[in-house]
Structure 1
């Protein structure tokens, strides 16, 4: 009789432990969020003066993402990224985000959408050929071919982009997270060396250098406390083992 009771006890205990293990595994699987997917839709060609639709479709698994924190379209002419513009997208509440854009002269334009949603940041990119720019691009390509080999680092820089998450409501003496996202033609740029150069515009001779850590694939961040209120400049320096060396400057207003 004792053997039977002991056997029943062991059987029940085994079943309970198995159920607990199964629940823990299921819980662990549920904790892994699905990847944020962004489809960028633009025309391949456009006429000068024509208004075109720039659209992105944002999904996570089978779900359409209607609550993105920020969606902006960055548009710039080939070779003139520093003169580009950021266009805030309209949220259609159906997983699509869009904006209208017209181009005023012949050129190759780059369009990159920056989507921040549910703790993730995705920024796919496409190009639009406006007017007769394709002929000019081909002629330029022939000229470069006649001159021999191209500089590899120049091509790497051309496909490179960064997006600084400019913090809001920054207060003096409080720790602020500085975050930048990096991407090249192959996707998020990993294993880059990123440093924030920070200075108060009223005291430009004193500069702080902060090394950023890669917190996610292509995302680099560091914490910093601003000692005084006022306008601060932040220059982001990016380097990697392929010879890339890029920098971009931003400004932050720090309150009392």
Structure 2
């Protein structure tokens, strides 16, 4: 009887060990990371004063995202990104977010949509030619050349930099500086990003602030501005593949 009991216990013990051996430990390594895809639809050409509809189809895997956290369109004329205009979108359901705009004069414009959803960020863009594609003042040699050179200095193909201008920055509080980077529609990771800060209130002094990559393609830093005034931030971007880009922006501190 004791032998039978011993054999039975041994068999049960082996079955328990076998079951334990088959149990898989979920360490998160097998979790599939789905991409946030944004299909931006904009006409390539239009006339001055013509209403242009912009549509962004937002998907996450096979799912059409109907509850995006934020979908905002940014529009600027070639060489004048510092004067860009932001437009809120309308949620038309089925993953489509739209907005409309018109243009007052000839020129080449960039339309970029900024999408935040599923804790991810995407910002595809397209160019639109309005009228003849060249502003009349530029044809007569107006003094926009320096500004154009600053923003169009020969970007790496597919490179996109979006600096989120601080709003309501004050001297008594830390100011968060945030930049999103993409190449060919994908977050640019592991880049070295530095903010070069200058202002008339600082004199000849330039302050440098190193950014950290908080999320894939998102680089943040915190600055404390002791004096009120208009500040210029030049965003410098480099990586080990030889990319070296910079763009300049201004914002006010009260």
Same fold per TM (> 0.5)? yes
Residues 1:237 and 2:241 aligned together: no
- 1:5 and 2:6 matched: no
Write 1 or 2 for the structure with the bigger share of helix. 1
Matches within 5 A, 1:243-254: 244-251=244-251, 253=253
How far did 1:45 drift?
2.2
Shift in CA distance, 234/33, structure 1 to aligned 2, threshold 3 Å: farther
CA separation of 1:5/1:156 partners in 2, compared to 1, >3 Å: closer, same or farther? same
Change (3 A) 1:44 1:68: same
Gap runs ≥5 in structure 1: 135-152
Post-superposition shift, 1:3? 3.0
The answer for the alignment partner of 2:164 in structure 1 is: 165
Shift of 1:56: 0.7
1:14 aligns with 2:25: no
In terms of mean alpha carbon deviation, does 160-169 or 53-62 score higher?
A: 160-169
Name the residue aligned to 1:221: 220
Q: Which runs of 5+ in 2 are unaligned?
A: 135-151
The answer as to 2:109 corresponding to 1:109 is: yes
- Whole-angstrom CA distance in 1 between matches of 2:11 and 2:229: 75
- The number of residue pairs the alignment matches comes to 231
CA distance in 2, matches of 1:68, 1:181: 18
Deviations 1:86-108 (CA, angstroms, capped at 9, x unpaired) = 22222334422111011233333
Give the match's secondary structure for 1:56. Answer: strand
Cα offset, 1:195, TM superposition: 1.0
Listed as ranges, the matches of 1:190-229 within 5 Å are 190-198=189-197, 208-222=207-221, 224=222, 226=224
The residue matched to 1:11 in structure 2 has which SS? helix
Q: Secondary structure at the match of 1:48?
A: coil
Query: Is the 2:170–2:228 Cα contact (8 Å) retained in structure 1?
Result: no
Report 1:1-256 matches (<5 A): 1=4, 2-19=6-23, 21=24, 24=26, 29-30=30-31, 32-133=32-133, 154-156=153-155, 160-166=159-165, 177-185=176-184, 187-198=186-197, 208-222=207-221, 224=222, 226=224, 233=231, 235-240=233-238, 242=242, 244-251=244-251, 253=253
Instruction: Give the Cα separation in 1 of the matches to 2:84 and 2:203.
Output: 27
Separation in 1, partners of 2:122, 2:108: 23
CA shift, 1:229, in A, is 8.3
CA contact (8 A) 2:90 2:99 kept: yes
Q: Hey, what's the Cα distance between the residues in 2 that align with 1:46 and 1:58?
A: 25
Residues in 2 aligned to 1:169 and 1:10: alpha-carbon distance in whole angstroms: 67
Q: Give the Cα separation in 2 of the matches to 1:39 and 1:243.
A: 26
Q: Distance in 1 between matches of 2:30 and 2:21?
A: 18
Contact in 2 for aligned 1:198/1:232 (Cα 8 Å): no
After superposition, what is the alpha-carbon deviation per residue over 1:175-205, rounded to whole angstroms, capped at 9, x for unaligned? Answer: 6653211234564344443112347875556
1:10 aligned counterpart, secondary structure: helix
**What CA distance in whole angstroms lies between the structure 2 residues aligned with 1:101 and 1:227?**
36
TM-score, normalization: structure 2? 0.71
